[in-house]
Structure 1
Amino acid sequence: MMELKKEQFHRIEHMLSVDKCNLEIKSVIALNNPGKVYVDNAREPKSAIIWSKGIGGYYLIGEENNPSFVKGLSQYFDEVIIPQSQDLDYNNIEISGTSEIWDDILEMTFDNRAGYHKSYQYVYQFQGLKDQEVKRPPLLDGAEVKRVDGHFLTSDVNNIDFVKNNILEWWASLDLYLEKGIGYCIVYDSKIVASCVTSFMAGDEMESHIETVEDYQRKGFAKYLIYEYLKDCKNKNLIPYWDCMATNIGSYKTAEWHGYKKAFEYPLFTFAI
């Protein structure tokens, strides 16, 4: 196996047409989000490992019936992936497949590792948003909604780094976010208390990341920011995307309240390093 250069990422675009291809994968291949790609053959790759910096995890995609790739997975993780992950201060590896066959391969390959366990993720999408009304929740008196654009990011508002850090958790730079992403935040008590910014995007799909300062949670701020975000997606004819843990009931119930529909679920495999 070998690592592709960024200008070679397009060589695995043919792998992205599977039914359960996470937006996180697509956004790395589109060079919208930082990540790495490892393949069996640089010229004509059949199978690949994708690393997403933002999500902090790995994905398998491509041809499952690739004996040399599958046989070498465990060794490649031991020799390359795990050392690189440890350099990033990861305590464990999180990895998902993009088909039931990849899921079986992952289970057989890593189920003997320390700390191994299997959990599930839910993926929601908001198809047909352009033909629907966006539900507007109430907003607390005194709260101000601000668009996270270049003007706002250079303003002297208190704790502006809260928003900048949320952006840079997913994007390689603020400039790239400003070019391609959208976002909103709420200013309350003279400071930023919540933000909703694009985390991943590729084609006409866009995912958001919502963060609320702990002391201001459960005040409806996140719900209102999603409303603003969805209005923007509607105007731009985008398909909003939502990915959360199956155990995070509050997250997927919020998505459902806004009109997102469950698209698929997938297993997430974790083991200690």
Structure 2
Amino acid sequence: MLKLQSDKYVKVRPLFKTLEYNLGVEAILSGTVQGDVYVDDLQNPSTACMFDGVHHFYMGGNEKNQDFNSSLSKLIINDIFPKIKNEGKEVDYFFFYDDSSEWEKELEFVLKDIYPGKTYRRYYNFYAGDSVLSLDMLEGFKLRKIDSELMESTDLNNVEEIQQWAFTESWSGKEDFLKNGFGFCIIKDKDIVSWCMADHVFGGNCEIGVETDEDYREKGLATRVVSACVEYCLSEGMDRIGWSCFESNEASYALAEKVGFKIFKKYPVLFGWYNSYDNLFVQGDVSTKEGNFEKGAQLLEKALLLAEADDDDFKRSRISNRDSVCWAYFLAARAHALSGNADKCINRLKKGFELGLPNKDMLNDSAFDALRDNEAFKQL
């Protein structure tokens, strides 16, 4: 596997044809966003992986290239993941791929040692000529375009959220965002309460996202700020505006549809967290909730091994610490109970109570129903 120079990215463009709707791909290929592209051959690449340096991996080309896939697995485990952790960017990651191909099956091999999960996302488009919902602003609130003065403000609450948007994988900072991006926000008194900003802008296309302060949700503010952003895009002559969200985020796609976006694609992605403990904890809990009890138990046990070893990832966890790790034991106990392993379940419950599980009422959880007549369980 070889790293392609940025002036040669045109060579891999055909490999990402099915992902070109995602402007993150175009942003890297065009050089507007820094990213790395790894290929099997510098002159005639047939397989490629594109990485934006933080969250997103894009797979293209021949998914059956075993030499490339093996090298990619080593690169991810030995280079990319440690580098991200050392930089303190222990966030989530996503693998995008052509869902009509066999990339998902091959990625199970590539990522087998980091235990990703699978979820679904939606992608929406709004085209020039589509009708956008237009609403009057609520009394006491005002719409404002995001500019340098606003981003440098010291007396507005949530301004740091606006500033952070300009330091994602899409933008190199405030100057880059203000020059090449755009956004709008709604302000009430000294609070920025809702904001819609560009994630990518390329040619006549862009992608946008929205956030609303928790104290101001369900008031129609997100609808208004997104509509304002779309109207701005149309006034600037843009042809297409993209919007993406998780399939589970009904509020997000309901908002997009209300404004006038139309569904383009529903697609699977593999995802996880760079922090091994957090990833195992979450994936184990999700697997249990999805009914895959044995897998859930296995992943949670791997998380507990890291906790018991006081591993660096456990120390840096955003989910657990020494005071709350008892809940990991409880979740592992549930998974073991549901998979029929009574002894392991009771062992994990005992350890959880030793470490601070608050009370025995949680034993009323229906996951433990099969253990009601178990003498060891009764003695807990």
Normalising by the smaller structure, the TM-score range is 0.7 to 0.9
C-alpha change, 1:42 and 1:21, in structure 2 (3 Å) is farther
Structure 2 residue identity aligned to 1:81:
I
- Between the aligned partners of 1:149 and 1:7, the Cα distance in structure 2 is 33
Larger radius of gyration: 2
The answer to whether 1:83 aligns with 2:93 is no
Residues 19, 25 of structure 2: 8 Å contact kept? no
SS at match of 1:266: strand
Gaps of 5+ in 2: 277-380
Q: Is the strand fraction higher in 1 or 2? A: 1
The answer to whether 1:208 aligns with 2:220 is no
> C-alpha offsets along residues 21-57 of structure 1, whole Å, 9 cap, x if unaligned?
5222222222333433222233443322222346x13
- Between the aligned partners of 1:190 and 1:109, the Cα distance in structure 2 is 49
Listed as ranges, the matches of 1:97-112 within 5 Å are: 97-101=97-101, 102-110=103-111, 112=112
Query: Residue 168 of structure 1 corresponds to which residue in structure 2?
Result: 167
- Between the aligned partners of 1:126 and 1:93, the Cα distance in structure 2 is 26
- Between the aligned partners of 1:61 and 1:217, the Cα distance in structure 2 is 39
Listed as ranges, the matches of 1:73-222 within 5 Å are: 73-88=72-87, 89-90=89-90, 93-101=93-101, 102-110=103-111, 112-113=112-113, 115-127=115-127, 129=128, 131-154=129-152, 157-159=155-157, 160-169=159-168, 170-222=170-222
Moved more, 28-37 or 135-144: 28-37
Moved more, 169-178 or 148-157: 148-157
- Between the aligned partners of 2:67 and 2:148, the Cα distance in structure 1 is 48
Alignment length (residue pairs) = 269
- Between the aligned partners of 2:225 and 2:260, the Cα distance in structure 1 is 14
C-alpha change, 1:63 and 1:204, in structure 2 (3 Å) is farther
Structure 2 residue identity aligned to 1:164:
Q
> C-alpha offsets along residues 143-178 of structure 1, whole Å, 9 cap, x if unaligned?
111111334434555243331222222311222222
Moved more, 39-48 or 137-146: 39-48
Residues 95, 268 of structure 1: 8 Å contact kept? yes
Moved more, 239-248 or 170-179: 170-179
Moved more, 73-82 or 195-204: 73-82
Shift of 1:208: 1.0
Query: Residue 266 of structure 1 corresponds to which residue in structure 2?
Result: 267
- Between the aligned partners of 1:77 and 1:185, the Cα distance in structure 2 is 38
Moved segments of 4+, more than 6 Å: none
Structure 2 residue identity aligned to 1:166:
W
- Between the aligned partners of 1:98 and 1:225, the Cα distance in structure 2 is 32
Identity, in percent, stands at 24
Moved more, 238-247 or 76-85: 76-85
Residues 34, 171 of structure 1: 8 Å contact kept? no
Over aligned residue pairs, what C-alpha RMSD do you find? 2.5
Moved more, 75-84 or 150-159: 150-159
Query: Residue 246 of structure 1 corresponds to which residue in structure 2?
Result: 247
- Between the aligned partners of 1:156 and 1:82, the Cα distance in structure 2 is 36
- Between the aligned partners of 2:180 and 2:92, the Cα distance in structure 1 is 31
Structure 2 residue identity aligned to 1:191:
D
- Between the aligned partners of 1:168 and 1:120, the Cα distance in structure 2 is 26
Gaps of 5+ in 1: none
